[in-house]
Amino acid sequence: MGSVSEKGIHTDFKDNMTYGEYLRLDKVLSSQERLSGHHDEMLFIVIHQVKELWMKLILHELNAAIAAIEKDELPEAFKMLARVSRVQEQIIQAWDVLSTLTPAEYTEFRESLGRASGFQSYQNRLIEFALGYKQPHILKIYEKDQDLARELKSAFEAPGIYDVAIHALRQAGFPINLDLLTRDFSITYQGDPTVAAAWLEVYRDVDRYWDLYQLAEKLVDIEDSHQQWRFRHMKTVERIIGSKTGTGGSSGVKYLRSVLDHQFFPELWDVRTKL
Ligand code: HEM
Ligand SMILES: N[C@@H](CC(=O)c1ccccc1NC=O)C(=O)O
């Protein structure tokens, strides 16, 4: 068995550890229980589990990128944000796999899902919080689970990636409204003329502000892909359940279409009109 090394690194591993032990495949591969017993429910479970795993990586990278930007270590953050973008490509592509599920096939096991819904995916909420989208009613969904509620509340109150990007603008000398740096981060950012003016300057003088320009374009990549994922979700839902109401109690596709229009980084989209 391993121990703690001189550098304090935990080396608690079994000498003859196997591939399956390392990856905890006993847990991972015994977690696909088809409640209906229907053949196509396997696809449904695997798609969701893979998505949750990719979201775990996205959160790991996004949170580290937020910390790096806060410390003004922009190149480190670019590496992480580029990885987030590649993962987003994977999860967008995954809709093509789920689209092989026909309405008739889904109907066969939909009832066994009860009132469970992707609406309850807390990792999805943590990603939206990291991107700065904070809707207070979302926290109520998780009130019953205290540990989870605590984790979500802390992410809800923490600065999102755009908040630290605004901090980086200030660090670079732009005259950013100081209230933005100490604001209540549990409120979704509403836009500010000093931030708009700073990004415009960055985009007009790319050579001078190369790192900030890179940061801005990485953020646009991420928002663009996040919205593509949500759009594909809405269209896939439409082709599988039409306009049926959702198991989570919403109006279904109508609800999903209505939540598509939120912009995470408003000035980065507005700046395009001014260039
Ligand atoms: C047959 C496939 C699917 C159907 C029919 C479906 C349907 C729905 C519906 C109707 C909603 C609205 C809430 C409700 O009333 O239930 C919803 C929300 C949601 N679904 Fe799905 N979904 C499917 C697949 C997926 C997959 C693969 C994921 C990935 C994990 C996912 C993640 C989500 C998320 C995150 C929400 C919350 C959206 C928001 O509030 O902005 N769904 N889904
Ligand atoms: N809301 C879906 C059900 C659903 O899709 C779902 C159910 C359980 C676990 C994950 C799900 N995926 C996304 O919403 C429906 O209304 O059919």
Q: What is the Rg, in whole angstroms, of the alpha carbon atoms belonging to the chain? A: 21
Is the pLDDT confidence value at 11 over 70? no
Q: Is 208 annotated as a binding residue?
A: no
Burial class (CB in 10 A: 0-12, 13-18, 19+), 230: middle
Give tens-digit pLDDT for 36-85: 999 999 999 999 999 999 999 999 999 999 999 999 999 999 999 999 99
- For residue 194, say whether it is annotated as part of any ligand binding site: no
∠124-25-93 over CA atoms, to 5°? 40
pTM of the model as a whole: 0.95
Domain-located, residue 53: yes
Residue 139 lies in a domain: yes
Q: Is 188 annotated as a binding residue?
A: no
In a domain, 19, yes or no: no
Mean pLDDT of 96-116: 98
Rounded distance between C-alpha atoms, residue 107 and residue 15, angstroms: 49
Any atom of ligand 1 within 6 Å of the Cβ of 264: no
Say which amino acid occupies 199: W
Residue 207's domain comprises: 38-116+130-274
Residue 14 falls inside a structural domain? no
Euclidean distance between CA atoms 209 and 42, whole angstroms: 49
How many domains would you assign to the chain? 1
* pLDDT of the residue at 13: 65
Phi, psi of 10 (to 5 degrees): -75, 120
In a domain, 143, yes or no: yes
ipTM over 0.90: yes
Q: Is residue 6 included in any domain, yes or no?
A: no
Determine which residue's CA is closest to atom 6 belonging to ligand 1: 237
Contact assessment for residue 246 and residue 118, using Cβ atoms and an 8 Å cutoff: no
Residue (of 156, 161, 152) closest to 187 by Cα position = 156
Whether the CB of 237 sits within 6 Å of ligand 1: yes
Q: Is residue 71 part of a domain?
A: yes
CATH classification at residue 260: 1.20.58.480
